[in-house]
């Protein structure tokens, strides 16, 4: 075998000073972040590694995996309520998001003020988790599925409005131009030129959002906003973990089925 007679090592990689400095800054920032995180966070380790934890573990975990079938009818009824909440909320959001989507689309309103303020309100809504909205609605109108529906309806506008505006911005404007050239008015253009182009995507996104909303409405009951979460809250307080196990099982099955149907429908639409 040919071995080099003398060891010639490859030349050292030349790195620009800018890159070296950048890498060091990143490293220092990361280190600082972790030092801050781990020195500051208050975790009571003696509570976590205690006999109580062990007792909880041996009680909670086996019960979770042996669901209480007696509460299955109740759990299914409440899961039905959850699905209904998600449906009502998503449908309301899907309609309310349409004007937002149009306002935020650059090719519909040629005004920066309208575009940005619509985009900004959509972003603002998206910053809040739905359950936080639910907390406020529960405080306003009392514990009820209605509070959950409102939370979902408001919370979903953010994402749907944003996606709608992207769909609108990507449509074929030549169709609109030619309708305009034919002397169509704004309303006619909307119904013959724009709506037919965006409907399939709008629908597909609304169905996708329904998937997300089903997931989030399962937990709204934890703070009194209806659905299967209420059962989980009560069972946890009574430490009936086998009932929680039943609720969990139903959530997993129903969410999986909904995801499956939703992706099937969306594939058919687009």
Applying the rule CB under 8 A, the residues between 99 and 128 that interact with other proteins are 123-124, 127-128
Distance set, CA 259 to CA 58, 84, 142, 165, 264 (Å): 33, 16, 31, 24, 8
Q: Give the closest residue to 230 by CA, choosing from 238, 222, 241.
A: 222
Q: Give the closest residue to 151 by CA, choosing from 74, 75, 229, 98.
A: 229
> In the complex, what is the shortest distance from the CB of residue 144 to other proteins, in angstroms, rounded to a whole number?
6
> In the complex, what is the shortest distance from the CB of residue 108 to other proteins, in angstroms, rounded to a whole number?
24
> In the complex, what is the shortest distance from the CB of residue 6 to other proteins, in angstroms, rounded to a whole number?
8
> In the complex, what is the shortest distance from the CB of residue 127 to other proteins, in angstroms, rounded to a whole number?
4
**Three-state SS letters, 118-183:** HHHHHHHHHCCCHHHHHHHHHHHHCCCHHHHHHHHHHHHHHHHHHHHHHHHHCCCHHHHHHHHHCC
> In the complex, what is the shortest distance from the CB of residue 129 to other proteins, in angstroms, rounded to a whole number?
5
215 touches other proteins (CB under 8 A):
yes
Q: Interface residues for other proteins in 155-214 (CB under 8 A)?
A: none
> In the complex, what is the shortest distance from the CB of residue 186 to other proteins, in angstroms, rounded to a whole number?
20
Q: Interface residues for other proteins in 127-156 (CB under 8 A)?
A: 127-129, 131-132, 135-137, 139-141, 144-146, 148-150
Q: Interface residues for other proteins in 43-72 (CB under 8 A)?
A: 43-44, 47-48, 52-53, 56-57, 60-61, 64
Q: Interface residues for other proteins in 230-259 (CB under 8 A)?
A: 232-233, 236, 239, 241, 244, 248, 251-252, 255-256, 259
H helices within 9-71, ranges in order? Answer: 17-40, 45-48, 51-64
Nearer to other proteins, 1 or 110 (CB): 1
Nearer to other proteins, 197 or 236 (CB): 236
Residue with tokens 């998937």: 211
In the list 219, 230, 231, 246, the residue contacting other proteins (rule: CB under 8 A) is 219
Question: Which contiguous run of DSSP H or E holds residue 49?
Answer: none
Q: Interface residues for other proteins in 67-86 (CB under 8 A)?
A: 80-81, 83-85
Question: Which contiguous run of DSSP H or E holds residue 12?
Answer: none
Residue with tokens 């781990």: 38
Task: Give CA 177 to chain center in angstroms.
Answer: 36
> In the complex, what is the shortest distance from the CB of residue 9 to other proteins, in angstroms, rounded to a whole number?
5
């Amino acid at each position: 075998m040919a071995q080099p007679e003398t060891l010639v090592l490859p030349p050292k990689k030349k790195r620009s000073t800018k890159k070296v400095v950048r890498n060091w800054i990143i490293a220092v920032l990361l280190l600082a972040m972790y030092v801050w995180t781990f020195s500051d966070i208050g975790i009571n380790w003696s509570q976590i590694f205690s006999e109580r934890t062990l007792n909880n573990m041996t009680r909670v975990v086996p019960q979770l995996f042996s669901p209480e079938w007696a509460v299955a009818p109740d759990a299914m009824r409440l899961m039905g309520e959850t699905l209904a909440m998600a449906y009502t909320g998503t449908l309301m959001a899907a309609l309310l998001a349409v004007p937002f989507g149009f306002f935020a689309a650059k090719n519909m309103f040629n005004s920066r003020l309208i575009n940005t303020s619509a985009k900004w309100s959509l972003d603002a809504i998206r910053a809040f988790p739905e359950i936080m909205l639910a907390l406020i609605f529960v405080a306003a109108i009392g514990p009820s599925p209605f509070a959950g529906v409102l939370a979902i309806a408001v919370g979903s506008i953010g994402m749907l409005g944003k996606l709608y505006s992207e769909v609108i911005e990507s449509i074929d404007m030549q169709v609109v131009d030619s309708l305009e050239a034919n002397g169509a008015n704004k309303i006619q253009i909307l119904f013959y030129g724009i709506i037919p182009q965006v409907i399939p995507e709008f629908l597909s996104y609304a169905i996708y959002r329904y998937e997300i909303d089903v997931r989030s409405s399962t937990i709204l009951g934890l703070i009194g906003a209806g659905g299967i979460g209420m059962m989980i809250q009560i069972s946890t307080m009574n430490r009936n973990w086998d009932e929680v196990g039943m609720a969990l099982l139903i959530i997993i099955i129903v969410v999986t089925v909904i995801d499956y149907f939703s992706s099937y429908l969306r594939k058919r639409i687009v």
